[in-house]
Amino acid sequence: MSESASEITIPVIAGSTAIGKTATAILIAKRLNCEIISADSRQIYIGMEIGTGAPSVEELKQVPHHLISCVEPDARLSAGEFSVMAREAIYEIVSRGKLPLVVGGSGLYIRALIDGLAPIPPADSNLRKNIAARIDEYGMENAIEELRKFDPEYAEKVGINDRKRLIRALEVYELTGKRFTEWHKEHEVKPWCQPVFFALNRPRGELHSMIEHRINSMLENGWLDEIETLRTKYKGYDKLPPAVTESLGYKELIRYLRGETSFEEAHELIIIATRQFAKRQITWFRGDERYQWLEETGSEAVEKWAEDIINSVSGAQASPLAN
């Protein structure tokens, strides 16, 4: 990396799903000569554009986007691997005299990119199998309650269906006697750029309405057909990779397509799960004091957010070009 890497100003726009991050980022990018780095743990996968709410073809034409639909779902990407890809894209953008703009709702991916990841011990396959067996026997709620006893802060971030993160948190504690939260807090951050953090937010009722509207739009735009295409590609629902089956909404719609539930039930469960996911995202970003929260409401929120961020970045920005 260049010795002047720390001089690169990188705006980071975060917030919950459906809040309006993409629309805001595009307005900013057009006015500040930016290219967008997507920090979304699911929009990075090919063939999942509809169900993950990835930017539309028209939006992609307006502003260059990076790390959208570039990895096959069966080549599951870790936060560490994402950070390497994102940094490479950022330096390539900077080399052309443009400003990188990081946008997304995946808090861990953003943290991995900006701060790096804590040196947590590697996985222990035997211990993981034992923990998984306990979860199979006693259930996810019991396992989350177990986590809550020694790491209540991280337990609040783990969803009831987030089996992978739950197993990892229990595994790390049993391996080291140290909470997952402690590992991250003790990690020494070595800045390699100048991030400017913003988090977008709306009133809860308004956000809930936007979530429902977004889900309906994705269904109208062919979400079910997208899943069927993936099923054909991987030769069956049972052979779909975890990146698909563990993604928000896909699990419920797969059950519907298999005839295990009604469409109405699947639709309602997706709305509930998405609201819960949005709440966890907000909790995550609230836990990072570097974020400047921009609270708006109504149809003019995107314009106001864009204006506030542009003014803030323009006032504090160092040259994006490495000297």
CATH number at residue 293: 3.40.50.300
The answer to whether position 323 is within a domain reads: no
Regarding whether 201 and 160 lie in a shared domain, the answer is no
256 or 320, which is more confident?
A: 256
Q: Is residue 284 scored above 90 in pLDDT?
A: yes
The residue with greater pLDDT, 102 or 318, is 102
pLDDT tens-digit profile of 287-316? 999 999 999 999 999 999 999 999 998 876
- Tell me the percentage of the chain whose pLDDT exceeds 90: 71
Compute the distance between CA of residue 214 and CA of residue 171 in angstroms, rounded to an integer. Answer: 36
Highest mean pLDDT among 58-67, 90-99, 164-173: 58-67
- Give the C-alpha separation, 88 to 96, whole Å: 13
**pLDDT given for residue 122 in this prediction:** 75
Same domain, 103 and 212: yes
In a domain, 179, yes or no: yes
H runs (alpha helix) in the chain: 21-32, 57-62, 79-95, 107-115, 125-138, 140-150, 152-155, 163-176, 180-186, 204-220, 223-234, 242-245, 250-257, 263-286, 301-316
In this structure, the answer to whether residues 51 and 89 fall within a common structural domain is yes
Whether the per-residue pLDDT at 187 is higher than 90: the answer is no
In Å, what is the CA distance from 209 to each residue of 88, 105, 137, 224, 232? Answer: 37, 18, 37, 22, 33
Asked if the structure places residue 151 within a domain, the reply is yes
Q: Check pLDDT > 50 for residue 198.
A: yes
| DSSP sequence for 21-38 | HHHHHHHHHHHHTEEEEE
Torsion of CA 23, 25, 28, 32, to 10 degrees: -140
Q: Please tell me the total count of domains within the chain.
A: 2
Nearest by Cα to 165 from 242, 269, 82, 88: 242
- Pick the residue with more confidence: 81 or 274? 274
- Domain annotation covers residue 302: yes
| Residue 167 · residue 131 · CB < 8 Å | yes
Range of the structural domain that residue 203 is part of:
5-117+187-316
Q: What is the DSSP string of 174-187?
A: HHHSS-HHHHHHHS
| Mean pLDDT for the stretch of residues 158-169 | 82
* Residue 205: partners with Cβ closer than 8 Å, 6 or more residues away: none
Give the pLDDT score at 186.
67
Q: Is the pLDDT of residue 14 over 80?
A: yes
Tell me, yes or no, whether 111 lies in a domain.
yes
191 — pLDDT class (breaks 50, 70, 90): low
Average pLDDT, the chain: 90
Whether pTM exceeds 0.85: no
Cβ partners under 8 Å of residue 239, min gap 6? none
Quote the CA–CA distance of 206 and 19 in Å, as a whole number.
9
- Over residues 191-215, the mean pLDDT reads 95
* Contacts of 311 by beta carbon, 8 Å cutoff, 6+ apart: none
Among 159, 177, 120, 134, residue whose Cα is nearest residue 247: 159
How far is the C-alpha of 272 from the C-alpha of 278, rounded, in Å?
10
In whole angstroms, what is the distance from residue 47 CA to residue 158 CA?
Answer: 26
One domain for residues 90 and 204: yes
- CA-to-CA distance for 195 and 147, rounded, in angstroms? 32
Can you give the pLDDT at residue 215? 98
Rounded Cα distance between 173 and 164, Å, is 15
